[in-house]
Chain A
Amino acid sequence: MSTALLTDLVIFVLSLWVGFEVISKVPATLHTPLMSAANSIHGIVLVGAMLIAATTNSWIGYVIAFLAAMFASANVVGGYVVTGRMLKMFRKRPTAPAATQAQPAAARDGQAS
């Protein structure tokens, strides 16, 4: 096993744990936007698609680069735009503009009677 592979593996495993730790704190209310945000993040594969285009010089390489770039950028652009669109709809009060919400933990006791 090469050093590079070992390093990559360590990064992968630690990132998985960071992911578990960070994401288990996301409330169920935001699970759809979370999944959509995760979707846009895996659009990072666009970097891989770009590197194909940068190194290839065969027709099959160009076809693959074209498809990969198309898929990945649909993923990136669509993912971020739709996540933003959804999150804009989450308001604390029906009339309040979406910007002025600063209190933490208000999600739980905002409805006390």
Chain B
Amino acid sequence: MSGFSFGSQLIYVLAASCFVLGLHLMNNPATARRGNQFSTAGMVIAIATTLALIAHAGVITATGWTVMLVGALIGGGVGLYAARTVQMTAMPQLVSMFNAVGGGAAALVAIHDYIRVASAAVGPAESMTITTLLDVIIGSVTFSGSIIAAGKLQGVITSAPVTFPGARVVNLALAAVGLAAGGYVISTPSLAGLWIVVVASLVFGVLMVMPIGGADMPVVISLLNAFTGTAVAMAGFVIGNWALIIAGALVGASGGILTKLMADAMNRSITNIIVGGFGTGDAAPVALAGAGAGVNAIAADDAGIQLAYAGKVIIVPGYGLAAAQAQHEVAELADVLESHGVDVSYAIHPVAGRMPGHMNVLLAEANVPYPQLKEMDDVNPEFARTDVALVIGANDVTNPAARRPGTAISGMPILDVDQAKSIIVIKRSMGHGYAGIDNELYTNPKTSMYFADAKTALSQLTSAVKTLVG
């Protein structure tokens, strides 16, 4: 190893340290921005070092420079535009697209390396080809799977689970073809074999995500994020670069943790997710005996009175709030209540929204200070001291049936909304949540149901409260 490349490896380790430090600073909202700056600095260092290495080696052709710079400019421009203009409700799609391009780039690195080595006179060293192959497979699966996931989130592809008879057999066949071709390209350098692996992996990625229902997206995105990280780490093995290995492993760990958290919060095992049979929870809906049975309906004025004269209110926002894009309305209601001296906080279930932590970002965008956003374990003991729990578009995560065995959601961690002194639920109808079962919270005598669209209901509530306290 020459002095120059030795030094550059050291600088790559420095860049990787910046990534670790950056992620570490994400453990508190107050330091998170500094964390992002550290991480950016690490990236700039790594890229500058690579440029210096390339210039120093001097092998690059003029076409090589052009291709690299034009590609980077176009990609960077698209990335910048997307990042600047994306709506916060569309964050999951964007993250999914970044997973796709990251995984795709990692797969391309391996494909190129394989072509280069295979066209040389000697066959590739076995150990290197295994990581190359893993990179190609994981990267390609991530690429196509993430594009499908983004399409489902955007509504371009139906968010309902798409299955066909024999899907599992097709998946197994694809896996067999991929593995056979993979085994072959390890023993004998063969470009055709490599392309078979690529195509099989791409199709597998599509088939993996298509059967998954919209409500399971938080798990899927986290899983694909872990895949991307792993693919990038494998690319690091292929080109022998520590920065890629470390960064990829960090992302793999992050995606892995989030996948586990999301799976637990949705009451699903990770094995169950990977094997399939995903998003079938709404297959057997149980009919509810009429929308009025044992339910107290309430209007804006009465709900306003309850809220205005409460000492402590906890707002429980769910996916319905995000879907109605009513985060600004809820923040306005909370402001009015707070200025009237009511203690307001938000109880956020881990799977509220469409990706991990999504609801927090939506509320932050609506100017809600983060100390008011409380995690499930912190807020649950507070419900007993709460006068009014205001549930907006959240369903299964508030259902007390989860505490009993024998229901579809048994064992799922829930928000203890039923412990509050009174409960107001804003919901369009008595329709079921994702689990397809009745919510016992709605028939609780302490609960009043306010049947309306979240956005309309919240503006009406706000004006009702304003007339009372104004």
Q: Which residues of A are at the interface with B, using a C-beta cutoff of 8 A?
A: 1-2, 4-5, 8, 11-13, 15-20, 22-57, 60-62, 64-94, 98, 101-111, 113
Contacts and interface: CB of A to CB of B under 8 A. Distances in A.
B186 interface: no
Given A73-B76, A113-B343, A104 B375 contact: no
A74 B77 CA distance: 7
A27 B30 contact: no
B24 interface: yes
A27 B251 CA distance: 17
Interface in B178-205: none
B94 interface: yes
Contact of B221 (A2, A28, A35): A35
B72 interface: yes
Given A30-B357, A78-B80, A89 B245 contact: no
Contacts of A111: 343, 345, 371-372, 374
B79 to A, nearest CB: 3
A50 B68 contact: yes
Contacts of B125: 2
Contacts of B225: 35, 38-39
Contact of A40 (B43, B54, B71, B222): B43
B78 to A, nearest CB: 5
A47 B71 contact: no
5 contacts: A22-B27, A23-B257, A37-B36, A62-B64, A79-B83
A48 B370 contact: no
Contact of A42 (B33, B67, B229, B238): B229
B315 to A, nearest CB: 12
A33 B28 CA distance: 11
B122 interface: no
A1 B127 contact: yes
Closest 7 CB pairs of A and B: A19-B253, A31-B357, A110-B371, A78-B79, A69-B71, A15-B249, A70-B75
Contacts of B229: 38, 42
Interface of B: 12, 15-16, 19-20, 22-24, 26-30, 32-33, 35-36, 39-40, 43, 46-47, 50-51, 53-54, 57, 59-61, 63-65, 67-68, 70-80, 82-84, 86, 88, 91, 94-95, 98-99, 101-102, 104-106, 108-109, 111-112, 115-116, 125, 127-128, 131, 221-222, 225, 228-229, 232-233, 235-258, 261, 311-312, 335, 343, 345, 348, 350, 353, 355-358, 360-361, 364-365, 367-376, 378
A65 B10 CA distance: 25
Given A93-B369, A111-B372, A45 B106 contact: yes
A107 to B, nearest CB: 6
A11 B246 contact: yes
Contact of B360 (A29, A42, A60, A91): A29
B109 A49 contact: yes
A70 B74 contact: yes
A65 B71 contact: yes
A50 B57 CA distance: 13
Contacts of B23: 19, 22-23, 26, 34, 37-38, 41
B28 A107 contact: yes
Contacts of A17: 253
A47 B46 contact: yes
